[in-house]
Amino acid sequence: MIRAVGLLMVVTVLAGCGALRPQPIDVAPGQRIVLGRIDLSAMDVTHGIVEVVRQDGTYNRELTVGLDAAEFAVGMPPGRYRIVRFRGAKDGRTLSEFIRYLNVGFDVGDEPVVYIGTLRMHSGFGVTVRTTVVDEMEATLRVLRSRYSDVPATATRALMIPG
Protein backbone atom coordinates (compact mmCIF):
# COMPACT_ATOMS: atom_id res chain seq x y z
CA MET A 1 0.00 0.00 0.00
CA ILE A 2 2.71 2.49 0.95
CA ARG A 3 4.61 1.53 -2.17
CA ALA A 4 1.53 2.19 -4.34
CA VAL A 5 1.02 5.62 -2.76
CA GLY A 6 4.69 6.46 -3.34
CA LEU A 7 4.45 5.38 -6.98
CA LEU A 8 1.28 7.46 -7.42
CA MET A 9 3.06 10.51 -5.99
CA VAL A 10 6.01 10.08 -8.38
CA VAL A 11 3.66 9.76 -11.38
CA THR A 12 1.73 12.87 -10.26
CA VAL A 13 4.93 14.91 -9.89
CA LEU A 14 6.20 13.83 -13.29
CA ALA A 15 2.86 14.64 -14.92
CA GLY A 16 2.84 18.03 -13.22
CA CYS A 17 6.33 18.81 -14.53
CA GLY A 18 5.04 18.20 -18.05
CA ALA A 19 2.40 20.87 -17.49
CA LEU A 20 5.13 23.39 -16.68
CA ARG A 21 7.05 22.78 -19.89
CA PRO A 22 6.87 25.45 -22.57
CA GLN A 23 3.72 25.12 -24.67
CA PRO A 24 3.22 26.08 -28.35
CA ILE A 25 1.76 29.49 -29.23
CA ASP A 26 -1.89 29.24 -30.29
CA VAL A 27 -1.88 30.50 -33.89
CA ALA A 28 -4.80 29.88 -36.26
CA PRO A 29 -4.23 29.33 -39.99
CA GLY A 30 -3.50 32.63 -41.76
CA GLN A 31 -2.39 34.36 -38.56
CA ARG A 32 1.07 35.65 -37.69
CA ILE A 33 2.84 35.45 -34.33
CA VAL A 34 2.87 38.87 -32.64
CA LEU A 35 5.34 39.36 -29.79
CA GLY A 36 5.56 42.26 -27.36
CA ARG A 37 5.32 43.55 -23.84
CA ILE A 38 3.04 45.92 -21.90
CA ASP A 39 4.80 47.71 -19.02
CA LEU A 40 2.44 48.74 -16.19
CA SER A 41 5.16 49.63 -13.66
CA ALA A 42 4.47 53.40 -13.93
CA MET A 43 0.72 52.91 -13.41
CA ASP A 44 -1.24 52.55 -10.20
CA VAL A 45 -2.53 49.08 -11.20
CA THR A 46 -1.29 45.50 -10.91
CA HIS A 47 -3.04 43.91 -13.89
CA GLY A 48 -5.47 44.61 -16.68
CA ILE A 49 -6.75 43.99 -20.17
CA VAL A 50 -5.50 45.76 -23.30
CA GLU A 51 -8.07 45.93 -26.10
CA VAL A 52 -6.70 45.64 -29.65
CA VAL A 53 -8.86 46.25 -32.74
CA ARG A 54 -8.00 45.83 -36.41
CA GLN A 55 -8.72 49.13 -38.16
CA ASP A 56 -11.19 47.57 -40.59
CA GLY A 57 -13.20 46.29 -37.61
CA THR A 58 -13.04 42.63 -38.64
CA TYR A 59 -10.89 41.40 -35.75
CA ASN A 60 -10.36 42.29 -32.11
CA ARG A 61 -8.42 40.77 -29.26
CA GLU A 62 -8.01 41.29 -25.53
CA LEU A 63 -4.56 40.82 -24.03
CA THR A 64 -4.38 40.08 -20.33
CA VAL A 65 -1.31 41.70 -18.76
CA GLY A 66 0.08 42.26 -15.30
CA LEU A 67 3.17 43.26 -13.41
CA ASP A 68 4.21 39.60 -13.36
CA ALA A 69 3.00 38.71 -16.89
CA ALA A 70 3.83 41.64 -19.13
CA GLU A 71 5.10 39.74 -22.19
CA PHE A 72 2.74 38.29 -24.78
CA ALA A 73 2.88 36.03 -27.83
CA VAL A 74 -0.39 35.83 -29.73
CA GLY A 75 -1.68 34.92 -33.16
CA MET A 76 -3.23 37.72 -35.23
CA PRO A 77 -4.14 38.04 -38.92
CA PRO A 78 -2.21 40.57 -41.02
CA GLY A 79 -3.55 44.12 -40.90
CA ARG A 80 -3.34 47.53 -39.25
CA TYR A 81 -4.22 47.57 -35.56
CA ARG A 82 -4.95 50.06 -32.80
CA ILE A 83 -4.68 49.57 -29.07
CA VAL A 84 -7.81 51.44 -28.05
CA ARG A 85 -8.43 50.86 -24.36
CA PHE A 86 -6.88 49.62 -21.14
CA ARG A 87 -9.02 48.30 -18.29
CA GLY A 88 -7.13 47.70 -15.08
CA ALA A 89 -7.39 47.19 -11.37
CA LYS A 90 -5.33 47.74 -8.28
CA ASP A 91 -6.53 44.44 -6.85
CA GLY A 92 -7.94 41.24 -8.28
CA ARG A 93 -11.64 42.09 -7.87
CA THR A 94 -12.65 44.07 -10.94
CA LEU A 95 -11.07 45.16 -14.21
CA SER A 96 -13.41 48.11 -14.76
CA GLU A 97 -12.03 50.05 -11.81
CA PHE A 98 -9.53 51.83 -14.04
CA ILE A 99 -10.37 52.58 -17.71
CA ARG A 100 -8.07 54.57 -19.99
CA TYR A 101 -8.47 55.17 -23.70
CA LEU A 102 -5.37 54.77 -25.85
CA ASN A 103 -4.40 55.43 -29.44
CA VAL A 104 -1.41 53.25 -30.29
CA GLY A 105 -0.99 51.72 -33.74
CA PHE A 106 0.95 48.81 -35.17
CA ASP A 107 1.03 46.71 -38.31
CA VAL A 108 1.08 42.95 -38.72
CA GLY A 109 2.49 42.17 -42.14
CA ASP A 110 3.09 38.98 -44.08
CA GLU A 111 6.18 37.99 -42.07
CA PRO A 112 5.55 34.90 -39.91
CA VAL A 113 6.70 36.63 -36.68
CA VAL A 114 6.59 40.32 -35.76
CA TYR A 115 7.92 42.05 -32.64
CA ILE A 116 5.94 45.23 -31.85
CA GLY A 117 7.97 46.46 -28.85
CA THR A 118 7.29 47.32 -25.23
CA LEU A 119 4.41 49.71 -24.60
CA ARG A 120 5.08 51.70 -21.44
CA MET A 121 2.04 53.38 -19.96
CA HIS A 122 2.49 56.31 -17.58
CA SER A 123 -0.29 57.82 -15.46
CA GLY A 124 -1.05 61.41 -16.34
CA PHE A 125 -3.50 64.06 -15.15
CA GLY A 126 -7.03 62.76 -14.68
CA VAL A 127 -7.90 60.09 -17.22
CA THR A 128 -4.91 60.66 -19.50
CA VAL A 129 -2.19 58.10 -20.04
CA ARG A 130 1.12 58.90 -21.69
CA THR A 131 2.58 56.08 -23.76
CA THR A 132 6.07 55.39 -25.01
CA VAL A 133 7.38 52.48 -27.04
CA VAL A 134 10.82 50.98 -26.50
CA ASP A 135 12.69 48.19 -28.24
CA GLU A 136 13.43 45.41 -25.74
CA MET A 137 13.30 42.53 -28.19
CA GLU A 138 16.14 40.40 -26.78
CA ALA A 139 14.82 40.52 -23.19
CA THR A 140 11.23 39.90 -24.32
CA LEU A 141 12.24 36.91 -26.46
CA ARG A 142 14.18 35.40 -23.53
CA VAL A 143 11.09 35.48 -21.32
CA LEU A 144 8.77 34.20 -24.05
CA ARG A 145 11.09 31.29 -24.88
CA SER A 146 10.67 30.05 -21.30
CA ARG A 147 6.87 29.99 -21.77
CA TYR A 148 6.47 28.89 -25.39
CA SER A 149 8.17 26.06 -27.23
CA ASP A 150 7.97 27.63 -30.68
CA VAL A 151 9.28 31.20 -30.28
CA PRO A 152 11.60 31.60 -33.26
CA ALA A 153 15.19 32.80 -33.07
CA THR A 154 14.39 36.00 -34.95
CA ALA A 155 11.42 38.29 -35.54
CA THR A 156 10.72 41.24 -37.80
CA ARG A 157 10.71 44.51 -35.87
CA ALA A 158 7.61 46.66 -36.50
CA LEU A 159 7.38 48.82 -33.38
CA MET A 160 4.10 50.30 -32.16
CA ILE A 161 3.52 54.02 -32.77
CA PRO A 162 1.80 56.10 -30.06
CA GLY A 163 -0.85 58.33 -31.64
User: What are the structural domains of the chain?
Assistant: 25-162 (2.60.40)
Q: How far is CA 58 from CA 28, 31, 37, 78, 80, in A?
A: 15, 13, 24, 11, 11
Whole-number average pLDDT of the chain: 84
User: CA 64 → CA 67, 106, 111, 112, 154, distances in Å?
Assistant: 11, 18, 24, 23, 24
The model's pTM is: 0.82
Give the model's pLDDT for residue 22: 82
pLDDT per residue over 3-53, tens digit each? 443 444 433 444 444 456 789 898 999 999 999 999 998 888 888 999 999
| Strand, helix or coil for residue 159 | coil
Q: pLDDT tens digits for 41-80?
A: 888 888 899 999 999 999 999 999 988 889 999 999 999 9
